[in-house]
Amino acid sequence: MKSRDFSRSLWVFHLNTGSCNGCDIEILAALTPRYDVERFGMKLVGSPRHADVLLVTGPVTRDMEDKLKRVYAQTPDPKVVMVVGNCGNTGDVFYESYNLAGPADRLIPVDVYVPGCPPRPEAVIYGVVKAWKLLEEGKRR
């Protein structure tokens, strides 16, 4: 199924699962006048119910395991999950730490990985564009 319905209208919900705020600040930087993702119709929303993209940062601590799964279930279909930052991708320096339940793709299906510690806003925007293409082509898991 090919559609252009998600073309330039992606609403992103940002979930911090124990991140150090490095990635989160880079995500906010993407909203600033210099990068301005609103040009492409992207918007950060306050509730997962409004979201098309679930953007996860952080290595998923034990406390956040249940919340991550619930927020994933709360996001209406069709949706894509995007993990931003090394921690969310692999666990990074927290790998095999006793208090981690993650990385995120052990708990929920992840569609787009954006590595970097933290990734630059360009990388975050590129990741969102990939997510949008997945939604358009209906290739999401």
Partner 1 sequence: MIEGLLLRTALVPIIACAGILLGLLYRGLDRVLVARMQSRVGPPVTQPFRDVKKLLLKENIVPRDAVGWIFNSVPVIALSVTVLILLYLPFIGMEPVLEGHGDLILVIYLLLIPSLALVLGGFSSGSTYATVGAQREMVTMMSYEFPLAVASVSIAWIISAANPGIAAFSLGAIAMNPAWAAVGPLGLLGLALLLLTMLAVMPGELGVAPFDVAEAETEIAGGVLVEYSGRNLAMFYLADAVKAVVLGTIVIALFLPWGIAGSLGITGMAAVAADAIFYLVKLFIVIFVGSIFIRAAIARFRITQVVKAYWGYATFVSLLGLLLISLDMLSRLL
Range 7-36, binding partner 1 (CB under 8 A): 7-9, 11, 32-33, 36
Sheet holding 53-57, edge to edge: 43-44, 11-16, 53-57, 80-84, 112-114
Q: How far apart are CA 69 and CA 107, in angstroms?
A: 7
The verdict on 2 binding partner 1 (CB under 8 A) reads no
Determine the Cα–Cα distance for residues 93 and 97; give it in Å rounded to an integer.
9
Q: How far is the CB of 35 from partner 1 (least distance, A)?
A: 9
In the bound complex, what is the minimum distance in angstroms from residue 62's beta carbon to partner 1? Answer: 23
Beta partners for residue 12, in sequence order = 44, 53
The CB-of-23 to partner 1 minimum distance in angstroms stands at: 18
| Residue of 40, 65, 69, 123 that binds partner 1 (CB under 8 A) | 40
C-alpha dihedral sign at 92, 12, 67, 25? positive
> According to CB under 8 A, which residues from 46 to 65 bind partner 1?
46-47, 49-50, 52
Q: Footprint of partner 1 on this chain (CB under 8 A)? A: 5-9, 11, 32-33, 36, 38-41, 45-47, 49-50, 52, 74, 76-78
